[in-house]
Amino acid sequence: MPRNQIRWYAPGGETEPVSKKEFRSLTKEGQGALAARIKQLAQARIGLSDLRHLRGELYEIRAQVGNNHFRVIVIQDSPVHFIILSCFYKNQQKTPKQELAKAEQRLKRWRSGN
């Protein structure tokens, strides 16, 4: 069975990836729901076609617990590598502009090797 590798975004010099810190700041229920979706991606049971395209290279993994919506913004770095750029609780209809801007900035830093 093919598998994907999932990496967490960490700028140079960070001991713990910032995207993982964001993940850990979510409720336990949110973490559990997102972890299940991330695991499906790692096991190649879902792929880009199952994720919501945001813009450019950015895709969104979605999870819901009751009325609470949780999101992960990812990119596909190679055919089998996905990078988690951002994790957050979503409390509005559209993906917040500041989350998109943050993910785009992190993507730019990732591509430049920082």
Answer yes or no: are the C-beta atoms of 58 and 107 closer than 8 Å. yes
Q: What is the dihedral of CA 104, 6, 17, 50, to 10 degrees?
A: 40
Nearest partner of 104 among 58, 49, 51, 54, judged by Cα: 58
Q: Tens-digit pLDDT profile for the chain (114 aa)?
A: 679 999 999 987 778 899 999 999 999 999 999 999 999 999 988 888 889 999 999 999 999 999 999 999 999 999 999 999 999 999 888 889 999 999 999 999 999 986
pLDDT reported for residue 2: 74
9/97 Cα distance (integer angstroms): 19
Contacts of 50 (CB under 8 A, 6+ apart): none
Q: What CATH number is attached to the domain comprising 105?
A: 3.30.2310.20
pLDDT reported for residue 106: 96
User: How many structural domains is the chain composed of?
Assistant: 1
Residue 99: which domain range?
A: 5-111
